[in-house]
Amino acid sequence: MTLNERIAELRERVRQQRPLIHHITNFVVMNDTANVTLHIGGLPVMAHDRAEVAEMVTAAGALVLNVGTLSPDWIEAMLIAGRRANELGIPIVLDPVGAGATSLRTASNRRLLEELQIAVVRGNSGEIGALAGMGGVVKGVETVVEVDDPTAAAKALAQQYRTVVAVTGRQDVVTDGKRVFLVDNGHEWLKTLTGTGCSATTVIAAFAAVEREYPFAAAAALACFGLAAELAAPAARGPASFKVAFYDAIYHLSADQIRAGARVTAVAG
Amino acid sequence: MTLNERIAELRERVRQQRPLIHHITNFVVMNDTANVTLHIGGLPVMAHDRAEVAEMVTAAGALVLNVGTLSPDWIEAMLIAGRRANELGIPIVLDPVGAGATSLRTASNRRLLEELQIAVVRGNSGEIGALAGMGGVVKGVETVVEVDDPTAAAKALAQQYRTVVAVTGRQDVVTDGKRVFLVDNGHEWLKTLTGTGCSATTVIAAFAAVEREYPFAAAAALACFGLAAELAAPAARGPASFKVAFYDAIYHLSADQIRAGARVTAVAG
Amino acid sequence: MTLNERIAELRERVRQQRPLIHHITNFVVMNDTANVTLHIGGLPVMAHDRAEVAEMVTAAGALVLNVGTLSPDWIEAMLIAGRRANELGIPIVLDPVGAGATSLRTASNRRLLEELQIAVVRGNSGEIGALAGMGGVVKGVETVVEVDDPTAAAKALAQQYRTVVAVTGRQDVVTDGKRVFLVDNGHEWLKTLTGTGCSATTVIAAFAAVEREYPFAAAAALACFGLAAELAAPAARGPASFKVAFYDAIYHLSADQIRAGARVTAVAG
């Protein structure tokens, strides 16, 4: 199978297995990421209370931890759910929203990376740079100064925590610290909407739930996500009509479209 | 008046009386259910703090309790608001999201049913089955194994708590434990979006706010909700464009459309 | 420059400076107001924990405090962030959602007005009337009985707290207690959606972040917001399709459109 055929097959696997994606995530994107989970083929659940997260995660195919509107209580719940997920071998996907913007965010993300075995971290260049200690500037939740070398930052962070790091931007970089996938799908409209990074994280989680080769799962997810944006763009008259067309495109994204449109390059490690 | 004429009249009554629907609900659907409340003709308010819920509910026509992202604090607020609503004769509509998925969810919903007089419980087949102790499997917030006999489960739960139970699915069942309404409106697109069950609950609350015959109010609400979905379906190119057309259709849903399209059957008790 | 040319210039300034708008806001509108911030040209961040709000706000161009789903913890965070904003000269825009509906809401908003120097308060007529002690009735979060004289109520509140007050309604009124701007842009569709008042507040914050003449900034923001609604209205087939067209129109709103369509009147003080 070619790489694109493998990506197409993986996208279908999500549809067939319908993995439950347990999110402990921020208030801004809960509705969006629940819908994206459904559209890509999974089942979403949002549950954050310490009294139930360990039980809820047992049914999940993957766990999303997203600190976009964090508070200490929620971080505790993330640790409880995360420990149980680790015990059960359920992959955890971390979205370190705003790492670098405040010390609480940087410290909380470091703690999650240190105390849990994270399968994939997905952030923008500034967030990954902040966690890797390799530059970039985050203002609020947005990178305003890019990291000089996103691949180097991603590799460093991946090696430090033995995880897979996905840096999204004009070109997405996915690495386990050695191998690198570059993903050239995507569209400028994505930057005009809140939470598109969080939604990309959700798609990575859905793919990681059914494919344990996490670097490939993450790269495939980002290719599908970006390709859906490309397919939707002609219908956009602005950000909101783009969003409608984009979600419709995620739902319909087919094996044929992926074979023709995914642009993933595997770089020798 | 025929049944459909009564449903059409009830939908207009909501528009004219504009009842305030006080929601203590989950983070995922707050925006959606606030909009659905407005589109059907009511006024939404979301308020969850123990310091104000008893006061807020006094102005309400109905109270929605939805445990989709529950925590113990919020359950306490639900009990405070619910007790006041009971004192004032304001109907409470309960959405037991994820009952059966975790013990916290099952226990919290049971507690609400035991300590409050609930006017209507609206859930999917797995949630109602879990509360009635009659089977079904809930994964996250979705029924993955249907209850064998949803009408029997609904009747059992209705009798146990002297309430009205609405089970939504391919065919909706509404019962007070004796009489049964079957509702055959609806569309497959509804399953591709998060929170459509929660939105159906909101419409039931708006109808119950202006019609004290709760089994009829719930059946009429579900018929209108499902009919709007049917009317919207031709404009759908995917889940997100369906959602836009669906909300537009709820807003415009007219007496003529209801007379022609509602499909409710009253079954002898 | 004419008034409309100044408004057009200000709207472009937001696009160029991309101010960070730190929101401590309600759960219902977080997604909407984050998107509106992006579409008007700013960067949104939602952060509410006491451990980070003082740090987050230092990077902000403006701070939005919105009590739509308030709880005492969040009010404390608003005070912490607000004090820091005041120290740094960062404008605070307050949205007193539901003031008048419960004593918690009225008291919390009064406390914010007393303990912080608020740059602009934006509310509907009932909310402003409740805070000014000049009548109006709020049911939930909606004005159900209008204040007799919104300009008088706005002036009184502005003078009491040395702030700028914006009352939105059929005609918007903006005043610092002496000068008055009247804004005649807007469209009836705005009333069919939840959170449009909150989104107007966000646009005011984005404008106040780059223009320290706050009465003008608020009036300009409301003119742009209302004008985008007017431009979107022909594409509306209902509330949801209106919302899509409205957000697209905010994003595209151009200097030419503003010069031709803004309807702001400066009334001698």
Q: Tens digit of pLDDT for each residue in A33-85?
A: 999 999 999 999 999 999 999 999 999 999 999 999 999 999 999 999 999 99
Cβ–Cβ below 8 Å for A192 and C38: yes
Asked whether the predicted pLDDT for residue C81 surpasses 80, the reply is yes
Task: Count CB-CB contacts under 10 A for residue C56.
Answer: 27
- Tokens found for residue C5: 């040319």
Q: What is the mean pLDDT of residues C70-83?
A: 97
pLDDT-flagged residues of chain B (< 50):
none
Contact list in A for residue C45 (CB cut-off 8 A) is 98, 101, 140-141
pLDDT digits (tens, 9 = 90+) for C148-179: 899 999 999 999 999 999 999 999 999 999 99
- pLDDT at res. C269: 61
> Considering only CB atoms, which chain A residues are within 8 Å of B241?
244-245, 248
Secondary structure (3-state) at B220 = helix
Closest CB to A103: pick one of C30, C55, C252. Answer: C55
Cβ within 8 Å of residue C59, ≥6 positions away: A101, A139, A140, C20, C22
To the nearest whole Å, the CA of C5 is away from the closest chain B CA by 35
* CA–CA distance, B6 with B12 (Å, rounded to integer): 10
CB atoms within 10 A of CB A234: 8
Closest by Cβ to B70, choosing from A22, A49, A248:
A49
Q: For residue A91, give both structure tokens.
A: 């992959």
Residue C143 has pLDDT above 90, yes or no: no
Place of tokens 């202006």: B210
Token digits of residue C269: 């003080």
How far does B167 lie from chain C, in Å, by closest CA? 27
Report the pLDDT averaged over residues C188-216: 98
CATH number of A1-266: 3.40.1190.20
3-state SS record for A146-215: CCCCHHHHHHHHHHHHCCEEEEECCCEEEECCCCEEEECCCCHHHHHCCCHHHHHHHHHHHHHCCCCCHH
Subunits close to A (at least 3 CB pairs below 8 A): B, C
Mean pLDDT (chain C) is: 97
pLDDT of residue C268 exceeding 80, the answer is: no
Angle CA A176–A212–A90, to nearest 5: 105
Tally of CA atoms within 13 A in the half-sphere of B54 that contains its CB: 8
Give the pLDDT confidence score for residue A186 in this predicted structure.
98
Helix (H) or strand (E) holding C53: helix C53-57
- CB of C41 within 8 A of CB of C15? yes
pLDDT at A127 exceeding the cut of 80: yes
Q: If you measure CA to CA, which chain B residue comes closest to C196? A: B35
Q: Do C45 and A102 touch (CB under 8 A)?
A: no
Predicted pLDDT of residue C61: 98
Cβ atoms of C200 and C218 closer than 8 Å: no
CA dist A109 and A101 (Å) reads 12
pLDDT confidence band for C76 (50 / 70 / 90): very high
| pLDDT tens per residue, range A161-189 | 999 999 999 999 999 999 999 999 999 99
d(CA B183, CA B220): 8
Grade residue C98 by pLDDT with cuts at 50, 70 and 90. Answer: very high
pLDDT above 90: residue A269: no
pLDDT for A1 equals: 85
Q: Which residues of B touch C (CB under 8 A)?
A: 20, 22, 27, 30-31, 34-35, 37-39, 43-49, 51-52, 55-56, 59-60, 243-249, 251-252
Nearest residue to C241 (alpha-carbon basis) of A32, B243, B244, B249: B244
Residues of A in contact with B239 (CB under 8 A): 35, 38-39, 247-248, 251
